[in-house]
Amino acid sequence: RAKDLSARGRDAEALPLVRALLAATPDEPVLLLEEAKLLYASGDPAGAAGSAERVLLKSPHPTEACPLLGNAYHRMGDPGRALAAHRRCAELDPRDPVMAFHYANALEGYGRLTEAGTVYASIWNSSPGLAGAGISLARVLLHQRRDLEAARVAGMVLKREPELPGALVIEGQAFAASLLQQGITRIT
């Protein structure tokens, strides 16, 4: 019933049902995760973070609480805890590129471009089929004014997926930035 209510956007009604079940089995990871999702959707990021932290402790599959945990801390306005949560999630399974990608996104979002670029590059090098990692790496390189490197990475993505809009945009922006820089250098 709680899942049905939540699916219909009635999270406030679903939450007491999940909490009633949790009263009987307070360490049940499935219920803790559902509580975390409902609290997050209801605008209680602190409560969501608390429940998600318990999922990390109690679940045989702790990454289920990710990236919700980091996002909850972000929504609370706590960048340090948000980044730490995303890093912890990435460390739970270092071979999972999705967890690493969420961590890199958080780093990039907080302006830590060098670190984000390192993580994106690691994902791209180990899983070159993940176009999002390549596009994100190119975007970071572009923000770092490393235009030709950004164009090269975007071009590598486009070799695999020739019509991918994100890669086309980044490649175009990188070439435009490079040409602009060349023009400025010639003028001065």
136-156 mean pLDDT: 95
- Alpha-carbon span 170 to 58, nearest angstrom: 42
Whether 185 has a pLDDT exceeding 70, the answer reads no
Q: CB of 64 within 8 A of CB of 91?
A: no
- Note the pLDDT tens digit of each residue in 52-72: 999 999 999 999 999 999 999
Going by pLDDT thresholds of 50, 70 and 90, the confidence category of residue 6 is confident
CA distance 49 to 35: 10
Token representation of residue 20: 């009633």
Q: What is the pTM of this model?
A: 0.86
Q: Are 106 and 139 in contact (CB under 8 A)?
A: no
The pLDDT assigned to 178 comes to 80
Bond into 45 cis (ω within 30): no
Percent of the chain with pLDDT over 90: 81
Look-up: residue for tokens 């999630």?
Answer: 89
Contact between 157 and 164 (Cβ < 8 Å): yes
Average pLDDT over residues 144-169: 93
